[in-house]
Structures are given as C-alpha cells and as structure tokens.
C-alpha cells in the first residue's frame, strides 16, 4: 500500500513540475500570432513590437545559469516556487498593460521568474522519479513538453486571440501557476541546499555575457551583422564569457562547475540542443509568415497549422524512453536529425500555389516525429552522471543553450529570409530560410554521428562492463 502511495505522490509531483515547465515554454511563442493585435491596441511601432518577444527571451536566456546555481544553493523547490510567484505576478500585470513600455517591462519580469524556476524543473523531475525507468519517462515527458509546448503556444495563442483578446495569452498563466503553487509544497520534496560562498564574479560574467550575446543576436537582422551594435555586443559577450571560464577554475564554489564541461558527450549534446532549437524556432517563424501571408490564415488557423507537430510529439513521448533504453542516445538523435533535414528541405519547396495539405501538413508530422527522437536523447546525455549538488547548474546550462540556440537560429534565418525577400510577397526568401534551417539540422546530424563514433570506438577498446557509463549511454 505504501508503495502505491509513494508512486502516486511521485506521479503528482512530476505532473506539477511539468505543468509549470509547459507554462514557461508556452510563453516563448504564445504571443507570436497575437503581435498584430497587440500593436494595434497599445500603439507599438514596427521596431519596438519585436521586444514583446525579445524582452522575455533576453531575461530568460541571460539569467538561466544564475537561476540554476541559486536553486543549488537555496534548495530547488524554493527557487522553483519563488520563480513561479514572480512569473505569475508579472503575467497578471502584463495582462493589464496600457502602454508598450508597461508590456515590455512585465514581459522581461516574466523572463526573470522563468529563469529562476526553469532550471529547477529538470532537477526536481529527476529527484521525484522513483527509479531509473521513472527517470527516463520523466525526461521523455520533459522533452515532449519542451518541444511540443513551443508549437502548442502558437495554437493556444491563436485561439485565445481570436476568441477573446491577446490579453488572455497572459491571463492563462495565472490560474495554472496558482494551482501549481498551491500543491507544490505538499507533493514535491525539497532538495538539500548546497552550502558555500556564492560566486559573485561568476554570476556577473555569466549573466552579462549571456545577455550581451542574446541582445546582439536579437538585433542582428534589423541592424545588420556588421553593425557596431552587433559586433560590439558579441565582443563584450565573448570577453565576459572568457572571464567566466577563468574565474570558474579558481573559486571553491563556482557558478558553473567546470567538470560539467569536461565530458565530451555532454558538450556535444549541448551543441546539438542549440542547433535543434535554433532550427525549430526559425521554422516556427517562417511557417507563421507563410500561412498568414500566403495562405491567408488568421491567428487561430495559424496556430492550428502546428497541431500535427504537437500531437506527434505527445504520442511519441510514450515510446522515446524505450527507444533510448534500447538503442542508446546517439543513434535516435542521428535519425531525428536526419528527419529534420528532410522536413526543412521539404518545406523549402513550398510555392505560391501550394496548399496546406500538400506543402505543410506532411513536414509538420515529420518534424514532430524527429523532434521526439532528438530532445529525449539530448536531455539524457546532458544530465547523465551529474552529481546531485550540480543538477541545477546542469539544467541551467541545458536551457541556456536552448535560449542561445533559438536566438542564433532566428537571427541567422531571419537574415537569410530577408536577403531573398521581395517587398509585398511572402514566398520569395522562404527557400533560403528553410534551407538555412536544414543546415542547422545537418550540423546536428554531424554532431550526433561524432557522438556515436566516439562511443563505438570506446566500446571496442574497453570491455563493456568497465566502460564509462556516459559512453555506453551515448552509444
């Protein structure tokens, strides 16, 4: 009987954490299809409107590593709870914003709350799972939420905007967040805080470096890749991150544990995550332009265009743990990356006479299947073998990589699309944009292949029972 109660408690804890993660992921895309309505209601100009998205992305991506370390230091449930309170309060304020400055400020505050809560989600998932099988299922669901939630945000945002108001895209966070906060203390176990002196220099350099890089990339399509703003921001970011590397080798309690980046499998998985998310977010950007500008879809129909992707990810989340358990992480990742290359090149062939059924529905199904084979293996490689006291930092690294990857992908592919665009037309430039997304996926395939080759070579030179766990997992 006690075993059933423990299993039920663990299941509820995982459901609560995943609900919060879904809410945080949704806010990355939920306002995309509502931007025209927001511009009309609040009087945004063309240049300032992008900051409705960018303010959230900048705060979220820039503060994730710091948020992960705070969770390690004060307890992950506490960091998760504080972050959610900030996020819910900022969402309520954003829903009643009356000026562009108000909305941008509250969107940035949402990002601050998300950066504090998000790194703890993965750590709390792994500690809430009862065994290795449960851990794999939780990671698969996390991957489904992280991948499918981005497209689900477009669906939800379109429905709320069409049926009510863009303000409901903010209001929806409040009841979900309050429900999670009401139950989290009862069902989610707190982790032991890791005592030690806080790495102030590491916090400044990591946060400043990430913000500088994301800020530069966000503005690159508008200001140009060779502008003083872009180059200067990237240089400042690189210098700060170099200072972070030097600092972390010398302090007793580093913000980013150096041993996390000495594992080649983990580093390869982080690179793969940046490339996968960069291509995915860019695909969202291009498809929204395509269905609204060429096919004449409204906000709700634009969101529903991504339904095949979301449903496929949801269904595949039941099978991906078994796939990784049987074949390791690298081989499913290779198959998933190859599927993404195919789907993006398929979308690149969409023309002015293409319909949704012929040109977009098929790629959406393939992207959903491929994403399911990418996120779970990457997450397991990044978190595999991480000491409990560094779980928050590892989770922060993973999600920082996601944010940086999305910033790079959108900046690069928006620039490629703009270079081929024709004023007043949507389709010209799409081929180049989707081809650039396919290049991101091809680089993911190369990274996954390198992980697989390394694992096979290691397995040949070391007897399997004595091989390092992370090598066997990668294979």
Residue at 194 is within a domain: no
Residues 203 and 166 in one domain: no
Residues 428 and 441 in one domain: yes
User: To which H or E segment does residue 349 belong?
Assistant: none
Q: Indicate if 428 and 320 belong to the same structural domain.
A: yes
CATH code for position 353: 1.20.1250.20
Q: Are residues 40 and 155 in the same domain?
A: yes
Co-location of 294 and 406 in the same domain? yes
At 206 the pLDDT is 81
Please check whether residue 211 is in contact with residue 58, taking contact to mean a CB–CB distance below 8 angstroms: yes
Looking at the fold, whether 424 and 388 belong to one and the same domain comes out as yes
Query: 435 and 365 in one domain?
Result: yes
Q: Is the dihedral of CA 456, 344, 211, 63 positive or negative?
A: negative
Please give the pLDDT value at position 317: 81
* pLDDT of the residue at 380: 85
Q: 70 and 217 share a domain?
A: no
Tens digit of pLDDT per residue, the chain (475 long)?
Answer: 555 556 677 778 888 888 888 888 888 788 877 877 888 899 887 667 778 887 888 888 888 888 888 888 888 889 999 999 999 999 999 999 999 999 999 999 999 999 899 888 877 877 766 666 777 777 788 878 877 777 788 888 888 888 888 899 899 899 999 999 999 888 887 777 776 666 777 778 888 888 888 888 878 877 888 899 999 999 999 999 888 888 877 777 777 777 788 888 899 999 999 999 989 888 888 888 888 878 888 778 888 888 898 889 888 888 888 888 888 888 999 999 999 999 999 999 887 778 888 889 999 999 999 998 998 889 888 887 777 777 777 887 888 888 888 888 888 888 888 787 777 677 788 888 899 999 999 999 999 999 988 877 776 665 555 555 555 456 5
Q: 92 and 220: one domain? A: no
- Quick check: is 334 in a domain? yes
Is 183 in the same domain as 212?
no
Contact 179, 52 (CB under 8 A): no
Alpha carbon distance 224, 240 (integer Å): 22
- Domain count for the chain: 2
Helix (H, G, I), strand (E, B) or coil at 17: helix
Nearest to 78 by CA among 110, 120, 23, 130: 120
Shared domain for 184 and 295, answered yes or no, is yes
Domain containing residue 222: 199-252
Tokens found for residue 181: 């906060």
Indicate whether 54 belongs to any domain: yes
Cα–Cα distance for residue pair 360/346, rounded to 1 Å: 8
173 and 60 assigned to the same domain: yes
Q: What are the start-end ranges of the H helices in 317-360?
A: 320-327, 330-347, 356-359
Q: What is the pLDDT of residue 186?
A: 85
Considering the domain boundaries, does residue 179 fall inside one? Answer: yes
Asked if the structure places residue 374 within a domain, the reply is yes
Structure tokens at 463: 């007897």
Residue 324 in any domain: the answer is yes
What global pTM score does this model have? 0.81
**What pLDDT, in 10s, does the model give residues 297-345?**
877 888 888 889 888 988 888 888 888 888 888 899 999 999 999 999 9
């Amino acid at each position: 009987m006690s075993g059933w109660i423990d299993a039920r408690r663990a299941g509820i804890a995982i459901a609560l954490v995943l609900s919060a993660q879904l809410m945080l992921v949704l806010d990355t895309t939920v306002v995309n299809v509502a931007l025209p309505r927001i511009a009309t209601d609040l009087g945004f100009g063309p240049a300032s409107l992008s900051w409705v998205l960018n303010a959230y992305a900048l705060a979220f991506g820039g503060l994730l590593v710091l948020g992960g370390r705070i969770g390690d230091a004060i307890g992950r449930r506490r960091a998760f709870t504080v972050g959610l309170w900030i996020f819910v309060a900022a969402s309520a304020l954003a829903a009643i914003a009356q000026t562009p400055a108000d909305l941008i400020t509250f969107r940035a505050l949402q990002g601050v709350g998300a950066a504090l809560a998000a790194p703890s989600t993965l750590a709390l998932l792994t500690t809430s799972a009862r065994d290795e099988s449960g851990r794999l299922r939780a990671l698969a669901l996390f991957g489904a939420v992280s991948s499918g939630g981005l497209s689900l945000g477009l669906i939800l945002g379109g429905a709320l905007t069409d049926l009510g108001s863009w303000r409901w895209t903010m209001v929806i966070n409040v009841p979900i967040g309050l429900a999670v906060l009401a139950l989290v203390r009862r069902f989610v176990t707190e982790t032991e805080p890791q005592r030690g002196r806080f790495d102030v220099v590491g916090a400044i350099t990591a946060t400043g470096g990430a913000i500088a890089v994301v800020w530069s990339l966000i503005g690159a399509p508008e200001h140009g890749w060779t502008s003083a703003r872009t180059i200067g921001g990237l240089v400042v970011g690189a210098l700060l991150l170099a200072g972070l590397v030097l600092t972390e080798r010398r302090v007793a309690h580093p913000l980013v544990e150096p041993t996390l980046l000495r594992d080649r499998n983990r580093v390869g998985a982080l690179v793969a995550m940046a490339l996968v998310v960069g291509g995915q977010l860019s695909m969202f950007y291009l498809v929204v332009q395509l269905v609204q500008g060429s096919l004449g879809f409204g906000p709700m129909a634009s969101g529903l265009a991504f339904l095949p992707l979301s449903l496929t990810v949801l269904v595949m989340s039941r099978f991906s743990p078994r796939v990784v358990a049987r074949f390791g992480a690298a081989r499913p990742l290779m198959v998933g990356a190859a599927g993404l290359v195919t789907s993006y090149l398929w979308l690149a062939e969409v023309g002015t006479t293409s319909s949704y059924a012929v040109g977009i529905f098929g790629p959406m199904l393939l992207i959903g299947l491929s994403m399911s084979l990418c996120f779970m293996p990457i997450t397991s490689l990044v978190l595999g073998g991480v000491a409990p006291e560094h779980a928050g930092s590892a989770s922060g690294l993973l999600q920082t990589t996601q944010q940086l990857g999305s910033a790079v992908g959108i900046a690069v592919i928006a620039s490629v699309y703009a270079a081929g665009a024709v004023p007043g037309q949507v389709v010209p430039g799409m081929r180049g944009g989707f081809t650039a997304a396919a290049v991101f996926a091809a680089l993911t395939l190369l990274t996954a292949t390198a992980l697989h080759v390394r694992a096979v070579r290691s397995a040949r030179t070391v007897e399997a029972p004595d091989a390092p766990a992370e090598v066997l997992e990668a294979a």
